[in-house]
Structure 1
Amino acid sequence: MSDPQDAATPDGTISVFLVDDHGLFRAGVRAELDRGVPDVEVVGEAGSVDEAVAAIRHLRPDVVLLDVHMPDGGGAEVLRRIRPECPDVVFLALSVSDAAEDVIAVIRAGARGYVTKTISGRDLADAVRRVHGGDAVFSPRLAGFVLDVFSDRPGAAPPGDPELDLLTRRERDVLRLLARGYAYKEIAGELFISVKTVETHVSSVLRKTQLSNRYELSRWASDRRLV
C-alpha cells in the first residue's frame, strides 16, 4: 500500500519506499527512519510484489528497501518487473537472510546492496544515503559472497550442495538461526512466525538431513558455511 502522495520531497531529502510482507516490520523501519533522520523520508510501502511494482511505478522513489523473501516472489521478482522501466530507482535489499544464494540472486537481479535486518536505524539511514550516492553497500560478511562470485577466480562461486538444495529457503533461515544458538521463541521473533511453525520447520530439516538433534544440525550447518 502506497501513501496517497507522490515521491516529491524537499531538496536534498532522499525518498524511500518500503517493500516487506510484514506490516509490523515496515512500521518499525518507518519509525526508525522518521525519527531523527531529516534527510530521509519514507513516501510509501507495500506488502506484496504486485503492490510494490504498481507503487514504485507511480511514486518513483529514490531508494527502495526490498525484502528478499515474500510469498508471491520476493525481491528478485520486484526487480525483474520494475527495474527496466525505472532505471533511476536504486534498490537496497533488507532481509533476515544472510545466505549466499539469496545475496547473489538479488544482486544479479539489480539491487545495489544487501543488508540484514539486524542493522541499526542509524546504519540503515547511512546505507540509504550511500546507495543513493552511488556506492554499493553490504553487511560486513556478505561482501565476501559477492566478491567471490563476481571475481574471475576459477571456482570462486559457491558449489552446489545436493543435501542443502533439499531445504526450502525458510528452512534454511530457521536452520541458520538455530545453529547460532537461538531458542525457538527467538527464531519465531526474528522470522515473524509462530513457535509452532519453527518446530515444524526444524522437524522437516531433521527429516531431510536424516539427523537426530539440533546439535548435529548446528554442526551440519557450520560445515556448509550457513552460520
Structure 2
Amino acid sequence: MYKVLVADNHPIVRMGVKNLIDQQDDFKVISEKSSGIDVSMRIEQGDIDIIIMELSMPPGENGLITVKRIHERFPNIKIMIFSRQSEPKYINQAIYNGAMGYVLKSSAVIELVDGLKRIAKGEKYLDNNIMVTKEDLLVIKGGPTQLNLDKYVTLSKREREVLPFIVLGYTNKEISTKLFISPKTVEAHKANIMQKLNLSSHAQLLHYAVHHNLVDL
C-alpha cells in the first residue's frame, strides 16, 4: 500500500484528490497539508511514499524550493506536481528539482490517476497536454541560469526552513512553535541568514525572496 500525502492550499481540492486516490487499489491518502513548510515537517515523521502537491500555495515557501529540498533530503519519496501552473518554466524547473511527474489541474481525471500509478513504479510522467520542446529538455537536464542563488545555497537546511517564516512576518515565538526550536535559536538563524545573504533589513530580505521566487505571497 502506497501512503500518499496531498498538499494544496484549497481544502476542496485536497478533498477531491483524496477521494479519487482512496478509490485506487494500493493507494491511501494518510495526510493532507496546505503549505510547503507543513509538507516538509510532515515527511520528517516518515511513512510517506508519494506526495501530490500544488506548486503555488501562498502565503509560504515557493513550491519549487519545497520540491528541491524534499528531493535532496528524501530522494526515495516520489513527488507528483498537480498544479494550475502550465507555463514551461514551472514544469521544467519542477522536474529538474526532483519531481517525477507533472499533471495540470485543467486536465481530465485520468491524467492524475495514470500519473500516480506510473510514478509509483518509478517512471516519470508528464501530462499528455504538456508539450515538451528541445529547449525544455535542455533546461530540465541542465537547470535554469537566469538567477544567481549562490548566496542562498550557503544557507543550512534549517535556515532555509526559517527564511519563509521570517519573510511572511512570523514572530520568533511563532516560528519556534512551528519548527520545535527555541526562540533564541530562531534569532540565531535570522542573524545567520541576514549575514550570509548580505542583507540588513526585513524589507531587503522580502525583496530578495520575492525576486528569487523563494516564496509565494
TM > 0.5 between the two? yes
Q: Select 1:131's aligned residue among 107, 110, 119.
A: 119
Structure 1 contact 60–86 (Cα < 8 Å) conserved: no
Identity of aligned residues (%): 23
2:93 pairs with one of 105, 127, 132: 105
Q: Paired residue for 1:175?
A: none
Q: Which of 71, 74, 77 is matched with 1:89 structurally? A: 77
Are the aligned partners of 1:57 and 1:86 in contact in 2 as well (CA < 8 Å)? Answer: no
Distance 1:151 1:40, change over 3 A: same
**Stretches of 4+ aligned residues off by more than 4 angstroms:** none
Aligned to 2:50: 63
Alignment-derived partner of residue 39 in structure 2: 52
8 Å contact kept, 1:65–1:91: yes
CA contact (8 A) 2:37 2:61 kept: no
Aligned mate of 1:116, from 78, 87, 104: 104
Residue aligning to 2:150: none
Answer 1 or 2: higher relative contact order, Cα 8 Å, separation at least 6.
Answer: 2
The aligned counterpart of 2:17 is 29
Q: Which amino acid aligns with 2:49?
A: D
Q: Over aligned residues, Cα RMSD in angstroms?
A: 2.3
In the alignment, what sits opposite 1:43?
A: 30
Task: Answer yes or no: is 1:79 the counterpart of 2:67.
Answer: yes
2:103 partner letter? V
Q: Describe the superposition over 1:107-144 as per-residue Cα deviations: whole angstroms up to 9, x where unpaired.
A: 12110111011344444222111012121111123241
Unmatched 5+ stretches in structure 1: 1-12, 161-227
Which residues of structure 2 form unaligned runs of 5+? 147-217
State how far apart, in whole Å, the 1-side matches of 2:50 and 2:70 are: 13
TM-score, normalisation: structure 1? 0.56
**Distance in 2 between the 1:74 and 1:20 partners?**
13
- Cα distance per residue 1:180-219 (max 9 Å; x no partner): xxxxxxxxxxxxxxxxxxxxxxxxxxxxxxxxxxxxxxxx
Structure 1 residue matching 2:44: 3-state secondary structure: helix
Residue of structure 2 equivalent to 1:207:
none
Compute the displacement of 1:87 (Å): 1.1
The aligned length equals 141
Which residue of structure 2 lines up, in the alignment, with residue 16 of structure 1? 4
Amino acid at match of 1:63: I
